[in-house]
Structure 1
Amino acid sequence: MATTHIKRSASASRLVNYAEKRAVLKDGLNLDADYAKSQFKQVREVYGNQGKTQAYASRISFSPKEFDPTNEDDQQKALDIAKEVYQKTYPNQQVALYEHADTDALHIHAVIGAIDLETGKKMHGNWQEYREKLVHNTDEIVQKHGLEVTKVDPERYEKRSMAEIKMHDRGQPTWKDQIRQAADSTMSNPLIHDFQTFRDDLKQKAIDVWERGKDLTYQLTGTNYKARGNKLGTAYEKGAIYNELERRTRDQRDTQSETRKPDTNRFNSAQSDPERNQELSGHANSTTKQTTNRTDRTADTNRTSQSARQSKDNSRTAKDKQRPTGQQQHVKNPKRQPKPDRSRDYGPSR
């Protein structure tokens, strides 16, 4: 798997000086790599096209699983593949190639002259367009050689200056790398769903971040090292951060809404099962009938008892009317009879 990089430079000679120092192999397209600096300068003078940008710094790096940096055959094969890539991508440019084997991965530094040898004009466009073209051709060629195609994620692309590239090649992390790693760690936390929590989490990692116009500014706490998001890479820009945080907030809101949604399966299942409904309906009707029957029997019993009591009262009233008046009064107002005085009959008591 090969990874690529490309960046503008105002000095072709400076790029050559850096790349040539530790090169184990070198080669060139439309120039002699041993005289690269002078030939770059000669073309600029011939076409009278000095300008601000003299060259483009590019790099192709191969995976350690595919090429061994200490193996000379792998070194030559990697350089040949890189030369094929740049030949196809920049056929009318001067390209000096320098291979380094001082890290775990074989990588080739390319210094690409900005002037087209046919037209005498400089490359038009921007570095992002050049990189996309370079990535496309690299993938096509490495696949032809049986190597793995690079999976490019443009949203995670990191922009690096030449100073960063040099430090990266020496295995030295930069302060921008520290900011990128902290931001990546924070965004990997699913609990970070708004800018306030994003800023607070970075604060704990000794990174300050704030909004400034259309972008974010990151700074190592207590230092003067700070950079805009668009200088770190597209993944660290304000738009990318805010879009991801808004997506997480929206997903969280949808999840909570689903949790609060009532479960209507029980009601639907009862409605969709006609046999169950009929059974429930029959049960309800039978219960109603039993209740009605008990009510009717109770009412009949009450009416029977009331009729019996009323008949008995009527019979008693009729008998009372047939008796003499005095007897009726005696019955109505009975008086207790006094006890007879037996003392006269038996004499004095002893």
Structure 2
Amino acid sequence: MARPAVSARRLLNDLDGLAAIGGRPDGGVDRVAGSAEDLRARRWLAERMRARGLVPRTDDTRNVFGHTPNAAGHRLLVGSHTDTVPAGGRLDGAYGVIAALEVLTTLHEHGHPAADALEIVSFWDEEGVQPESSGGMVGSTALCEDPHLAEITGFVELHIEQGPRMELAGQELCVVDGIVGVDRHLIRTVGEPNHAGTTPFPLRRDAGRAMTRAAAAAHDLVQSISDALVGNIGSFTLDPGAPNVIPGAAQMVLELRSPHEDDLTRCAELVLERTRAIAAEEGCSVEHRILSRKPVVAFDESMRTLLEKVCRGTGRPTGALYSYAGHDAGVMSAHVPTAMVFVPSTRGVSHSPDEHTPDQLLTQGAQVLLEAVITHHDHH
């Protein structure tokens, strides 16, 4: 049977239609999970499915699923999420959902047998923006504890890269090897608060100075270990935080990401060692605890091989990389064979109204997803 082709016009129109829900004047999108816009987008998605002869279903967690009227018992799941960060872009998550809808629609229209063995999903609250959200991936985590999981044979997520590596390498498609591990460390220096005007420098036990020196050293240490390791200090506090009080305590949260667990361990050890040495010079002590640890995720080898074959079959420049951002696929991979495909992000910009991928590459990615669904069906 000849491979059906996705409709570029319908795909791009649907992306426009979804982007209009919570759309901002600057081209960005405000569709935070649980907001009126987010709920409207879920209803819009279900209506779109119904209009195409598909069967939508919303579960108790507010995940939106879709399948054909004659869906088989066991199905391959494809999709992503439609919620955004505040002032987010129009493609993060949304592209994977709309491409999944386009693939299912196309296969159903053509009466292709793979259509009945396919299910699409828009997961609830992937971004985890709300303080009570427990860090995102809420819908995929809930699905992994749902009896419906037993009917799912695998999961494929199509997504924008959200970084600059593909564009810099001239790649149009990338099969994702896995998702980096993410460790977060709370590091605290403790000294002695005192009057900033009356206390001479030699008599100070300045926890703030110790922590700023340690933070500066941390960035250099991260970069010295491996090109694959990245780190960030995005949370930094001084106590009591007054201009005329020498800080008696200070703390920072160091986040580390790498596809190699030993990079993460080694880096944390080096940063703590350096921080303790600096703190000793400043007359301060150091406290440390691990806030969270997400292990490295490796995607399913046979699924990756299948996607590599399909991507190479396009004749377009194809590569492989690790995702440095978290995705629903990371949650799903612990339960079913899972894989991801990336398309490039212009200038590597994401979580921003300037998020962009050329239309032709968006269409090509959706066609690759369709080919992957058919190939998976033929293999099973």
TM-score bracket relative to the smaller structure: under 0.3
TM-score, reference length from structure 2: 0.22
> Greater relative contact order (Cα 8 A, min sep 6): structure 1 or 2?
2
TM-score, reference length from structure 1: 0.24
More helix by share: 1
Larger radius of gyration: 1
